[in-house]
Amino acid sequence: MDISQYKINNEPFYDAQSNEVELYTAAYAARLPVMVKGPTGCGKSRFVEHMAWKLGKPIITVSCNEDITASDLVGRYLLDANGTRWVDGPLTMAARYGAICYLDEIVEARQDTMVVIHALTDHRRELSLDKKGELIKAHPDFQLVISYNPGYQSLMKDLKQSTKQRFCALDFDYAAPEVESHILQVEGKVDAATADKLVKIGETARNLKGHGLDEGISTRLMVYAATLINQGITPIEACKMALVRPITDDADIRQTLDNAIEMIFG
| pTM as predicted | 0.92
Closest among 263, 180, 171, 189 to 226, alpha carbons compared: 189
Domain that holds residue 246: 177-265
Q: Is 5 exposed, middle or buried (0-12, 13-18, 19+ CB in 10 A)?
A: exposed
Both 87 and 166 in one domain: the answer is: yes
* CATH (domain of 261): 1.10.8
- The domain boundary, picked from 136, 171, 206, lies at 171
Both 114 and 194 in one domain: the answer is: no
Q: Is 122 exposed, middle or buried (0-12, 13-18, 19+ CB in 10 A)?
A: exposed
Both 130 and 13 in one domain: the answer is: yes
Both 52 and 138 in one domain: the answer is: yes
Both 138 and 242 in one domain: the answer is: no
Separation of alpha carbons 260 and 265, rounded Å: 8
Both 163 and 182 in one domain: the answer is: no
* CATH (domain of 11): 3.40.50.300
Both 32 and 106 in one domain: the answer is: yes
- With b meaning 16 or more CB within 10 Å and e meaning fewer, what string describes 18-35? eebeeebeebbeeeebbb
- The beta strands (E) that lie in the chain are given as 34-37, 59-63, 75-80, 83-88, 100-104, 126-129, 134-137, 143-148, 168-171
- The domain boundary, picked from 137, 171, 205, lies at 171
Query: Residue 155 has what pLDDT?
Result: 46
Identify any residues that bridge with 127 across adjacent strands, giving them in sequence order: 136
Closest among 45, 81, 86 to 63, alpha carbons compared: 45
Both 65 and 120 in one domain: the answer is: yes
Separation of alpha carbons 204 and 211, rounded Å: 12
Does residue 163 contact residue 118 with C-beta atoms inside 8 Å?
yes
Both 130 and 216 in one domain: the answer is: no
Q: How many domains does the chain have?
A: 2
Query: Residue 211 has what pLDDT?
Result: 85
Both 113 and 148 in one domain: the answer is: yes
Both 197 and 157 in one domain: the answer is: no
Both 137 and 217 in one domain: the answer is: no
Grouping H, G, I as helix, E, B as strand and the rest as coil, residue 258 is: helix
- In the DSSP assignment, the letter for residue 209 is B
Q: What's phi and psi for 70, nearest 5 deg?
A: -60, -35
Separation of alpha carbons 159 and 168, rounded Å: 14
- The domain boundary, picked from 154, 171, 188, lies at 171
- Output the tens digit of pLDDT for each of the chain's 266 residues: 778 899 999 999 999 999 999 999 999 999 999 999 999 999 999 999 999 999 999 999 999 998 999 999 999 999 988 889 999 999 999 999 999 999 999 988 887 788 899 999 999 999 999 999 999 999 999 999 999 998 765 545 778 888 899 999 999 999 999 999 999 999 999 999 999 999 999 999 999 888 888 888 999 999 999 999 999 999 999 999 999 999 999 999 999 999 999 999 98
